[in-house]
Amino acid sequence: MGIDFRKMIADASKGITDATKEVSSFIDKTGKDLAKAIDQNGDGVLDISDIHTVTDRIREAQEKARRKADLERLKPLFPAEFESPEFVMPKMIRVSEIDKDHAENDVCRGSVGFRTVMDDMSVITIFRGHIDDFGLSFYPELENTVYYVDPCDRDHYIALHEYFAYMKMQRVAELQRIAHSLGARHFTVIYKDSSKSVSSYAVDASVSAKNTGVKVGTEAKHTVSNSYESTTSILAQMDFPAHAPVRPELRYLKKEINIINLIEMRMNPQHPLQHQHFSIEMSNSSGIRIKDAAKIDAMLKTMKVACDYTVESQAHDEAHRILEYDIEF
């Protein structure tokens, strides 16, 4: 064609961005076929209009890549997502004021929160101003903190630092309702906690000294043993007027085999039950297993949430706690 592409590109590139200059250099290296591809308006001539078009497309590609990277980094949550029938609220959430990154980035415009993902665990942070959009309830009250779901109510969340105390309270209340429904005359719930470790030290020493009293040699053997100190307290005790049994509805204790057997025996009129006493291991119905607690602690660290406790240590303590249930009919 006899066209001097180097001169045409150089003349057209005056006053435009560095990105356009890179395009012209690239064209110079690759020849006529690429020049034809750059001819954006199809007039057979490579001119300033084509260069501007290419430049705009480079900018568009850069902006698209930037938005994609920001979406991946910030993981904003939009109303259309949690309003979808397929959306499932995670077990752990956080309530927080909107942070600077999410407030100022255009990819987060209209978002109500964001996700934090670690391996197979996901947490949603909900911006305080949008908490009413989710239709959730909170215990003990709404504040900027981390919450974990009530195992019996997917729309109810408990402050993580109150979780095990809340679960104890709910199970004691359920034992009370069970006793009343079954027509008990008297019941008692005793709480036993042996999670407190106590260390004891034993010293076996032999001392020898010369008559002069100048030199004393001492050999000592130290033995350290750990044991658990148990504390006991009555959490509930009540008398009722006796009445015919009514099958209770179970929630937190619906998988406790001793409770299930108690109800079945009491509801059988051919084998009337007069008295029962048994223990309930609290870790079986606490809602957070030890292996899950370790994941929660790791997630809190990832989210940079400062805590003066670890959930794993609380879950281990729960394994040393029982409820003793005594019921008379």
What is the full DSSP assignment across 107-137? GGTT--EEEEEETTEEEEEEEGGGGGGGT-E
Q: Which two tokens stand for residue 319?
A: 């394994």
If you average pLDDT over residues 31-35, what whole number do you get?
A: 52
- Strand positions, DSSP E, 5-152: 76-77, 92-96, 113-118, 121-127, 137-139, 146-150
What is the band of 30 on the pLDDT scale with cuts at 50, 70, 90? low
Alpha carbon of residue 63 to chain centroid = 33
* pLDDT score recorded for residue 9: 47
Residue 3 is classified by DSSP as -
* pLDDT score recorded for residue 52: 64
Residues 211-227 as b/e (b if ≥16 CB within 10 A, e otherwise) read eeeeeeeeeeeeeeeee
5, pLDDT greater than 90: no
Q: Which two tokens stand for residue 13?
A: 């590139």
Q: Where do the domains of the chain lie?
A: 5-73, 76-161, 164-196+230-328
CA contacts within 13 A on the Cβ side of 29: 6
Interval 161-211: pLDDT, tens: 999 999 999 999 999 999 999 999 999 999 999 976 544 444 444 443 344
Residue type (1 letter), 302: T
Higher pLDDT residue, 248 or 32?
248
What angle do the packed helices 48-74 and 18-30 form, to 10 degrees?
A: 110
Higher pLDDT residue, 303 or 18?
303
22, pLDDT greater than 60: no
pTM of the model: 0.75
15, pLDDT greater than 80: no
What is the band of 314 on the pLDDT scale with cuts at 50, 70, 90? very high
Residue 93 CB-density burial (10 A; 0-12 exposed, 13-18 middle, 19+ buried) = buried
Alpha carbon of residue 126 to chain centroid = 13
Residue type (1 letter), 280: I
34, pLDDT greater than 80: no
Interval 230-243: pLDDT, tens: 899 999 999 999 99
13, pLDDT greater than 90: no
270, pLDDT greater than 80: yes
CA–CA dist 296, 160 (Å, integer) = 10
Interval 50-107: pLDDT, tens: 666 777 788 888 999 999 999 999 999 999 998 899 999 999 999 999 999 999 999 9
Contact yes or no for 260/268 (Cβ under 8 A):
no
CA–CA dist 81, 65 (Å, integer) = 22
Percent of the chain past pLDDT 70, that is, above it, reads: 74
Higher pLDDT residue, 52 or 1?
52
* pLDDT score recorded for residue 200: 46
The conformational region for residue 178 under phi > 0 = left, psi -120 to 50 = alpha, else beta, is alpha
